[in-house]
Each structure stands twice: as C-alpha cells, then as structure tokens.
Structure 1
Amino acid sequence: MIFDRVKPLDAILAAAEKKSLSRSLGWFQLTLMGIGCVIGTGIFVLTAVGAQKAGPGLMIAFAIAGGVCIVAALCYAEIAAMIPVAGSAYTYSYATIGEFFAWTVGWALIMEYAIAASAVSVGWSGYFSGTVLGGLGIHLPAWLSAGPLALGGAAGGFINLPALVIALLVTGLLVIGTSESAKVNAVLVIVKVTALTAFVAITLTSSEFEASHFNPFLPAGVFGGWGTGVGAVGAAATMFFAYVGFDAVSTAAEETKNPQRNVPIGLVGSLLFCTIFYILVAAGAIGTIGGQPIMDAMGIPLEAGSPELARQCAMPQYADALVCSNEPLAHALKMLGFSGFGNAIGLAAFLALPSVILVLIFGQTRIFFVMSRDGLLPERLSRVHPRFKTPHVVTIITGLAVAIGAAFFPVGQLADISNAGTLYAFLMVAVAVMVLRVRDPGRKRHFKVPMVWVVAPLTIIGCVLLFFNLPSAAMLFLPGWGIIGVVIYVLYSRRRSHLGQGIVEVVDDVAGDETMVPIEPGRKND
C-alpha cells in the first residue's frame, strides 16, 4: 500500500535530539525572525497588485489572509512545540499521516520557497530600478526591467535583468558560506519597521487623506468569481503571500530555548503585529492617492500582470495610479511631495529584500536536506563543497531556478503560484494536529490549540477558500507540480526511503540511550 508508512514520532524526536543544533533563540528573537521574514515583497510590492484586485477592499483582504494565517499558526504552534525539529510541515506529516503525504508536502514546500524567492527578487528589482537607478538619473529600458511571461502574452519586457542578477548574487553568497546572522536580521527588521511606521504616520495624517478614495470600497465585490483572482477574497489569496514566512519560525524549533513556550509566542506574535501593520499601510496608501482598480469593458478588474493592464498603465491618465506602480509605497509618498521619505522607503526595500531572498533559498535547501536525510531525495545532490563547506550542488540548482523565474515572470503571478503550495502545506499541518490528538492523546503538549476541533477545520476551510480564489493558472500549477512529484516518489523515493528499508532511530527508554532499531517496513506508529 502506498499510504502505509508512518514514521514513529519517537524516532523523529530521537534523531533530532542526536543531531540538534545549539538552543540559543528566545521568544523575542523568534518574533523578530517572523516579522523579518514576513515583512517583505508582500507589503512593499504586492500592495499595488492587491489594490488592482480589490481596490480599497485590500484592507479586508489583509484581514482575511491574516485570519487564515493566525488559525494556521495555532496549529503550527501546537505541533512545532511537540515536535521541535527541522522540516516543518513535511516532518509533521511524516509523523502523522504518512510518508506519501509527507512527500507531497515536502515537494510543495520546495516549489513554494523557490518561487517565493523569485517573487521577492522581482519585487526588489522594482525598487532598484525606480528608487536607486532612478535617483541616479539612470532609466533601464523596459525590455531589461520586466519579464515577458504574463498570462496571455508579453507585457512589454524581454528579461528582468536586476531580478536575475540579485537572485544569482544571493545564490553565490550562500554557496561561499555567507549567511544572515541574528544581529543583521534584527537590524533589517528595525529598518523595515521604521520605514513602514514613517509611511503610516505620514499618510494617515496627510491633508490629502480623503474618505472619497475608499468609495466604492469593494468595486469587484467580496468574491470575484472562481478562477478570476479578483474581489476581496481573491486579493486575500494573493496577499496571503505577504504573510508567508511565519512558518520559518517553526523550522527554528531545534535551535530554540524552551520551544514549547517560545515557538507559539513567536508565531502568533509576529502574525498579529504584521496584520495590524498591513491594514494601516493599506489605509494610508489608498486614503491619500486612491487605489481603485483599472477595469475592463465588463467592469471587472484587469488581471494583475496582464499585458492589457500594462498597456493601460502606459496611458497618461494612469501614470500616477497606485495599481500601476512597481514601488507603490515609495510612489505614494512621492505623490504627496515627500520624495525624501519615498526614497527612504525605496532604500529600505532595496536593502532588506535580499535578506528575504537569502532566507527563502536557505529554507528550500533545508527542506531538501531533511528529505534527503530520509532517503527520499538523492544524497549526492546534497554534497558539501570541500572548501566552503556548503551544499553547493542543491544551492546552485535552486538559485538557477529562482533566477529564471525572476527573469521572466511578473511578481503577482509568482506570488499566486507560491501561495498554492503554501496553502496545501498549511492545510496538511491542520490535519496533522487533529490526527495526533486522536492517535497520541497522552503525549505531553506544552501548547494546545484552544477548541482544536473548531480551529483546525477553520484552517482547512480557510486554505481551501483561498486556494479556489487564486487565478486558474496558479490553481492548476500545484496539481501539475504534484503529478511530477508523485511520479518521482513511485519510481525513486519509495524504494530508497530509509523508513521503507526498516531502519529508524528510536530512544531506548530502559537503557536511556539511542539505538538503531530495525522495524518492519510499513509498520505504523500506533
């Protein structure tokens, strides 16, 4: 049976204890980590994409996406505190619903991290071209600063050269061993939060702030229709990308002091902070310069990243529109006459976004390593460079894929595809929490989801709702990617699986030491 392998939870915990890193992170560092990874392209760039989908309803979109993430975070908090190991949703699935589903989750996470890194690279490109080069009086031609592969045809570009270059530079840094330290991350968090706080303060107190800019509040309604990706829920499905990254807190559980207490605080705390912040930023941007979408002849918002929207944005009447800007927050401040603050916002994004790219590519290789450690992916792809002592092969492969995606695809389309994989992973974590409550009710839980039989189903419903409000191309990408993964699993991974070979690490409670114990292939952790 393909669904018959569930890795014993005690084996996972024993392996983690044997191979774990130094536990040095507290709740404050975890919260900063969550905020640092969450605040990025989503708010600095996708504000324009979200406004094109929902208009002023973008504020509701942030609340919807944040709400789904918060209930998902509670599920993450319980299971991450119980299983404080690397691998995140992949490992949780392996210990609860089995190897096959764990493989599909890991496969989706590999896609999520890589495509999300591409999206952030494209977001960085907009601020680099607009604020940095523009401030120097240098203007890249359109064919060098925009990717052509928007839905429906070319969008005026040939290759997004800055996005390609930044993705390759970050990959090079990871190959030679440069990583982001906790202190650097804290500094970058301060830079981003300070910049956004200044944005909120300026816009909400501006004389240009008008209530009329919020009318109509929901120009495309709450639901824009299946597969259209517009309306408040459609925008929430895209703005969900603005929250992606909080799950990275759970992957740091092995390096956290008192993970049972600190992981839940880091997860929920960073999400609450970001949700409130995002709503205020959206209100400030729309209230000052407006955020109504550009409609087609049928009164439906044009698809973000589409060639028709690019054509409309090139017209003089839309030259100053929020929805047409590649650097919407800096653009809003410049329109208000605060060019200095606008440039500061642009510089903050320019400085901070590469660190997000680094974390995402690093996170992808971490998931890859855990799957490789379990025998589901070839170990030779995880070779360590003899000089730099880094996993150069998988890092280079990942970096090239990220660079190609960044060079040719628009940010909105990349974010939607990444969201599809993330929503699937979040859904499976909610399933895992409920399965563990039934299968292993006696195991100590330092954090328990309140009303788990309400919260976990709400997480599943929320993820499904957002998934089916993504554009149809993004919805179809996940099952297409999944089919490729299933073929690889059947032809390679299932035969090479360490669990399938009957060898796992468990803790001998009597002897008090760790022993390699063979078990029957397919035996479940009952």
Structure 2
Amino acid sequence: MIFGRIKPLDAILATAEKKSLHRTLGPIQLMLFGIGCIIGTGIFVLTAAGAQKAGPGLMLAFAIAGLVCIVAALCYAEIAAMIPVAGSAYTYSYATMGEFLAWTVGWALVLEYAIAASAVSVGWSGYFTGTILGEFFGLHLPAWLSAGPVALGGAPGGFINLPALVIALLVTWLLMIGTSESAKVNAVLVAIKVSALTAFIVLTLPQVEMERFNPFLPAGVFGGFGTGVGAVGAAATIFFAYVGFDAVSTAAEETKNPQRNVPIGLVGSLLFCTVFYILVAAGAIGTIGGQPIMGPGGVPFPAGSEELARQCALPQYAEALVCSNEALAHVLRQIGFSGIGNLLGIAAFVALPSVILVLLFAQTRIFFVMARDGLLPEGLSKVHPKWRTPYVVTAITGVAVAIGAAFFPVGQLADIANAGTLYAFAMVAASVMLLRRTDPSRARPFRVPVLWLIGPLAIGGCLFLFLNLPTPAMLMVPIWTGIGILIYGFYGYRKSHLGLGRVEVHEVEIEDIEPPIPATE
C-alpha cells in the first residue's frame, strides 16, 4: 500500500548523516537567505498588480498574506528544528503521511520553485533591458532577443529572452561552486535591496496624504472564489511576495546548530519582511494614489490583461501606479526624487538575482533528497568531491529554469507558483499535528504554542487563499499533480528505497560525521 509507506524519523536522520551536505550556514546567513528570497519580485514587480486588484486595500492584502505565512512559519519552525535535514515539506510529509503524499508535496515544491525562479529571471530581464540598457546606455535589444514568442503570450516579434536565460545560468553556476560562496554574495545583494527599500520608506512616508486611501477597499474585501480581486484576491496573488521563508528549512542540513538557527531564520526573516511590505505599500499609495482601473460593473480589470493594457495606454492613466512596470521607482519620480528613483531601479536590477539564487537553492535541495530516497534516479544526488554541493541536480534544474525563462512570459506565473506553495504549506501544518500524536516524546527544541489553534489556522488560511486564486492557477495544481503521479507510478514506486526495504537506522557516532568547515557569517 503506497499510503502505508511511512519512513521512520530515525531512518531519515541516519540517511542524511551518511550522505550529507556540508554544514556551513549560521543564523545570520539563514535570515539573509530568507530575506534574500522574500524581498524581490513581489515588492518590486507585483506592487502594481496588487494595487489593481485591491487599491489601497493592498495594505490589508499584505497583512492577510503575512498572517497566513506567520502561522505556517511557526509550524515550519517546529518541524524543521525537529528534523534538521534537507527536503523541507517533502521530508516532513514522508515521516508523517507516507511516501505517496510526500511525493505530491515534493512535486508541488518543484512547481513552486521552478516557475518562481523563471518568473523572477524574466522580471530581472525587464529591468536590464529597460532601465540599464535603455535609460542609462541608450541601447535597445531587438524584440526577438528580449522576449518570448508571441504564441506563448510574449511580446510581438519575440523569440527568446536572452538576458533571462543568461542570468539563470549564471546563478546556477554560482550555486554549483559552493553554498557558503552563494551565501556571501547573497548577503551583499540583500543589503542593497534593503537599503533601497529603506530609502523609499523614508522619502515617501512624510508625503503621505490620507485622502489617497479613500476609498480604502474599492473592490471590497472578498471578490469571490476564482475571481482574484478584492483584498483577499490580492492577498492570494501578493502571497508570492512572501514565498521564500520556507526555503530556509530546505537548508537545514547545511546549517550549524539547526535546532536553534532554523527557527530564528524562518520567523525572523518573515517578520522583518512583513513590516517592510506594509510600510512600502503605505508609502506608494499614500503619495501618488493606488486606485484600480475599473471595468464593467465596477470590477477592476484583471491585472496583466489586454483590457488593462489598453486602459493604461490612455493619457489619463499614463502615470497611474497600477500601470507601472517599475512601481517603486515610478513613485519616487512622481514625487520629485527622479535620481533616487533611478537608483532604486538599479537596486532592483542588482538584487533580483538573489531571489533566483535562493529559489534555485531550495529546488535543488528538494530534488537532492527525493533522489537520495530513490524516488528519482540516484545519480541526481551526487555530491561534488571538491565543491560539496549536489552539482548534477543543480545543473539540470538551472538549465530547465533558464529555458523556461527564455521562452515563456511572466504572465500569471506568480499565481501558479502560489498554488503549489499553499498546498505544501498546508501539508506541513498537518505533519506537525500528526507528529504531536504519533511521536510525542521526541525532542522539540521549538514548539508551536497552542498548536490546536495554530495548526488548523495554517491549513484553513492556505485553503482560503488557494480558493481565491484565479481559476486557471487553481487548475494547474491537479494537472501538475497528475503528471507527478504518473512519474511516481512508473518509476518512484518501484525504485523507492523504502519500498525495497532499504531503510537505514543506526545510532550515529561522533566520529562518523565529518567536522564542518567554519563559515564566515
């Protein structure tokens, strides 16, 4: 029975120690990894889309999405400290709900990280071609080199997004040469974008005019399931802006003292970014306004739609926040800080690769553990003798992400990535509650307070946001899951180490573990 294949926690921990990754990351590096992934496309690129869905209610949307993430992060913190190995929600589900459901979770995470990494690569390409080449050097790439084909929803005349392809491959190479090296570069990029957002907040908040927040909820709080509008609909989309805190747990196997450092990295990075998001939204809307462009029946035109594009081409909407492709830089230019606005655009261009880096980091670790369990070919789990990184799966993942970025548009990728993420988050909360019943005596360095309340809130919140995604995004999950079930049926079920009885459980002696090389924090 596939639902009966539950891998003992002792076996998971023992396998991780026998074929382990290098423990080099400390709490500061973990927080920076979380912040590096969280602050990026969501706030720099999706602010305009969120405002089109909710207007000034974007602030409430950030709060709603942040609340769901906080309760999910608490569940992540308990289980990641309890099971400090790579694999994130996939590994946790394996130990509680069995191999089949664990496979579906891992497969959903693949969808989340791959689509998100491709989307951010395309977003970076927009800043590179528009701001850097266009504004500062007066150069313009031909359409066939800067966008995907129109048949896939790209720009007319587009064939390949060359900058997106290049940045994805560069980040892949960086990850292959070593985790600690990646963390050091990421720390610099995090400092740049945090400084840029801090400058934005300092310059905009003093110029906020309260009347710009009226009406606060022009599309209402709840636009209806599948519509993607209103504050809740915006929260379902802007949830993408929070994706990344879970990536910290995928680095548990490469973390020094994970029982203490993983909870710090998870909760700390999330709280830091939540405060930033609400302040940035207040500054943007309170200075130049953020009312959506309404369609028939008083319903906002869908973000990214052709109808909205036609409205934005009209003179009266030329300067609207919801029509800007670089919303934050646009706000600063409108309030008289053009030079700083351009610098913020440069900061986004420089910082977005850190988002791609952490997303790729997280996905390769998921693949690594699934291959180590036999559900994917074991050759994917090879660790480089010099770099001590899973170089095979990193290269394969990076090439796939680069191809996706080169030929596919951003479109509604954020919503699709959110669908897979919300499923994985709900499964983590369920795993925590199950482990409290099935293994109550195991040491828990971090315990979720009032789990009887927090756990159901996390599951219910994820389900609620999922149902408020646009219908096409919701449908992607069962389609993608169906593909994954076929792969599992034809390969994973027959090759699984657990199914073949290859379950390794042993007491790990100190001399069995290679001493970690200290990393500079």
Question: Counterparts of 2:33 and 2:256 in 1: how far apart (Å)?
Answer: 15
Residues 46 and 412 in structure 1, CA contact (< 8 A), matched pair in contact too = no
Question: Counterparts of 1:387 and 1:31 in 2: how far apart (Å)?
Answer: 26
How far has the Cα of 1:377 moved from its partner?
A: 0.7
How far has the Cα of 1:404 moved from its partner?
A: 3.9
Q: Which residue of 1 aligns with 2:90?
A: 90
How far has the Cα of 1:335 moved from its partner?
A: 1.7
The 3 A distance-change label for structure 1 pair 256 and 44 is same
Residues 369 and 381 in structure 2, CA contact (< 8 A), matched pair in contact too = no
Q: Which residue of 2 aligns with 1:138?
A: 139
Deviations 1:268-317 (A, max 9, x none): 11111110100000111111111111221222111122222222222222
Residue 412 of structure 2 aligns to a residue whose secondary structure is helix
Question: Counterparts of 2:403 and 2:303 in 1: how far apart (Å)?
Answer: 20
Q: Which residue of 1 aligns with 2:43?
A: 43
The 3 A distance-change label for structure 1 pair 395 and 99 is same
Question: Counterparts of 1:396 and 1:508 in 2: how far apart (Å)?
Answer: 34
Task: Number of aligned residue pairs: give it.
Answer: 510
| Structure 1 range deviating more: 309-318 or 3-12 | 309-318
Amino acid paired to 1:286: I
Amino acid paired to 2:435: L
How far has the Cα of 1:262 moved from its partner?
A: 2.1
Aligned pairs (5 A) from 1:151-170: 158-159=158-159, 160-170=161-171
Question: Counterparts of 1:176 and 1:47 in 2: how far apart (Å)?
Answer: 34
Aligned pairs (5 A) from 1:173-184: 173-174=174-175, 180-184=181-185
Q: Which residue of 1 aligns with 2:327?
A: 328
Residue 503 of structure 2 aligns to a residue whose secondary structure is strand
Question: Counterparts of 2:248 and 2:380 in 1: how far apart (Å)?
Answer: 26
Deviations 1:184-236 (A, max 9, x none): 22222111111100000101123xx3222212211111111221111111111
Is residue 107 from structure 1 mapped to residue 103 from structure 2 by the alignment? Answer: no
Question: Counterparts of 1:92 and 1:135 in 2: how far apart (Å)?
Answer: 48
Deviations 1:136-176 (A, max 9, x none): 2234566755556799x666573544333322443455567
Question: Counterparts of 1:201 and 1:142 in 2: how far apart (Å)?
Answer: 37
How far has the Cα of 1:179 moved from its partner?
A: 7.4
Is residue 352 from structure 1 mapped to residue 361 from structure 2 by the alignment? Answer: no
Question: Counterparts of 2:157 and 2:198 in 1: how far apart (Å)?
Answer: 34
Residues 65 and 239 in structure 1, CA contact (< 8 A), matched pair in contact too = yes
Amino acid paired to 1:353: L
How far has the Cα of 1:20 moved from its partner?
A: 3.6
Residues 46 and 238 in structure 2, CA contact (< 8 A), matched pair in contact too = yes
Q: Which residue of 1 aligns with 2:206?
A: 205
Question: Counterparts of 1:425 and 1:508 in 2: how far apart (Å)?
Answer: 31
Question: Counterparts of 1:148 and 1:427 in 2: how far apart (Å)?
Answer: 36
Residue 129 of structure 2 aligns to a residue whose secondary structure is helix
How far has the Cα of 1:74 moved from its partner?
A: 0.4
Aligned pairs (5 A) from 1:291-330: 291-330=290-329
The 3 A distance-change label for structure 1 pair 126 and 214 is farther
The 3 A distance-change label for structure 1 pair 265 and 466 is same
TM-score (norm. length: structure 2): 0.91
Question: Counterparts of 2:427 and 2:383 in 1: how far apart (Å)?
Answer: 31
Amino acid paired to 1:306: S
How far has the Cα of 1:449 moved from its partner?
A: 0.4
| Structure 1 range deviating more: 324-333 or 67-76 | 324-333
Deviations 1:80-101 (A, max 9, x none): 1110000010000001110001
Question: Counterparts of 1:142 and 1:312 in 2: how far apart (Å)?
Answer: 23
Residues 154 and 408 in structure 2, CA contact (< 8 A), matched pair in contact too = no
Is residue 3 from structure 1 mapped to residue 3 from structure 2 by the alignment? Answer: yes
The 3 A distance-change label for structure 1 pair 390 and 12 is closer
| Structure 1 range deviating more: 301-310 or 91-100 | 301-310
Residue 115 of structure 2 aligns to a residue whose secondary structure is helix
Question: Counterparts of 1:358 and 1:315 in 2: how far apart (Å)?
Answer: 38
The 3 A distance-change label for structure 1 pair 388 and 454 is closer
Is residue 187 from structure 1 mapped to residue 180 from structure 2 by the alignment? Answer: no
Question: Counterparts of 2:510 and 2:145 in 1: how far apart (Å)?
Answer: 62
Question: Counterparts of 2:151 and 2:308 in 1: how far apart (Å)?
Answer: 10
Amino acid paired to 2:489: V
How far has the Cα of 1:381 moved from its partner?
A: 4.6
Is residue 362 from structure 1 mapped to residue 361 from structure 2 by the alignment? Answer: yes
Question: Counterparts of 2:151 and 2:420 in 1: how far apart (Å)?
Answer: 20
The 3 A distance-change label for structure 1 pair 26 and 180 is closer
TM-score (norm. length: structure 1): 0.90
The 3 A distance-change label for structure 1 pair 430 and 305 is same
Q: Which residue of 2 aligns with 1:521?
A: none
How far has the Cα of 1:403 moved from its partner?
A: 3.0
| Structure 1 range deviating more: 443-452 or 402-411 | 402-411
| Structure 1 range deviating more: 339-348 or 451-460 | 339-348
Question: Counterparts of 1:203 and 1:364 in 2: how far apart (Å)?
Answer: 36
How far has the Cα of 1:398 moved from its partner?
A: 2.6
Question: Counterparts of 1:33 and 1:381 in 2: how far apart (Å)?
Answer: 24
Question: Counterparts of 1:381 and 1:262 in 2: how far apart (Å)?
Answer: 28
Residue 222 of structure 1 aligns to a residue whose secondary structure is coil
The 3 A distance-change label for structure 1 pair 48 and 142 is farther
What percent of counterpart residues are identical? 77
The 3 A distance-change label for structure 1 pair 388 and 434 is closer
The 3 A distance-change label for structure 1 pair 386 and 251 is closer
Is residue 26 from structure 1 mapped to residue 26 from structure 2 by the alignment? Answer: yes
Amino acid paired to 1:308: E
The 3 A distance-change label for structure 1 pair 186 and 169 is closer
How far has the Cα of 1:249 moved from its partner?
A: 1.3
Question: Counterparts of 2:183 and 2:397 in 1: how far apart (Å)?
Answer: 24
How far has the Cα of 1:59 moved from its partner?
A: 0.5
Amino acid paired to 1:203: T
Amino acid paired to 1:19: K
The 3 A distance-change label for structure 1 pair 318 and 168 is farther
Residues 154 and 307 in structure 1, CA contact (< 8 A), matched pair in contact too = no
Question: Structure 1 regions of 5+ residues with no counterpart?
Answer: 515-526
Q: Which residue of 1 aligns with 2:516?
A: none
Amino acid paired to 2:398: G
| Structure 1 range deviating more: 353-362 or 157-166 | 157-166
Residues 123 and 326 in structure 1, CA contact (< 8 A), matched pair in contact too = no
The 3 A distance-change label for structure 1 pair 388 and 29 is closer
Question: Structure 2 regions of 5+ residues with no counterpart?
Answer: 513-521
Q: Which residue of 2 aligns with 1:403?
A: 402
How far has the Cα of 1:110 moved from its partner?
A: 0.9
Is residue 491 from structure 1 mapped to residue 490 from structure 2 by the alignment? Answer: yes
Residue 504 of structure 1 aligns to a residue whose secondary structure is coil
The 3 A distance-change label for structure 1 pair 157 and 60 is farther
Could you say what the CA RMSD is over the residues aligned between the two structures, in angstroms?
2.5
| Structure 1 range deviating more: 70-79 or 29-38 | 29-38
Q: Which residue of 1 aligns with 2:454?
A: 455
How far has the Cα of 1:340 moved from its partner?
A: 1.4
Q: Which residue of 2 aligns with 1:262?
A: 261
The 3 A distance-change label for structure 1 pair 15 and 141 is same
Q: Which residue of 2 aligns with 1:522?
A: none
Q: Which residue of 2 aligns with 1:217?
A: 216
Question: Counterparts of 1:171 and 1:346 in 2: how far apart (Å)?
Answer: 24
Residues 53 and 233 in structure 2, CA contact (< 8 A), matched pair in contact too = yes
Residues 175 and 390 in structure 1, CA contact (< 8 A), matched pair in contact too = yes
Question: Counterparts of 1:401 and 1:263 in 2: how far apart (Å)?
Answer: 29
The 3 A distance-change label for structure 1 pair 326 and 180 is farther
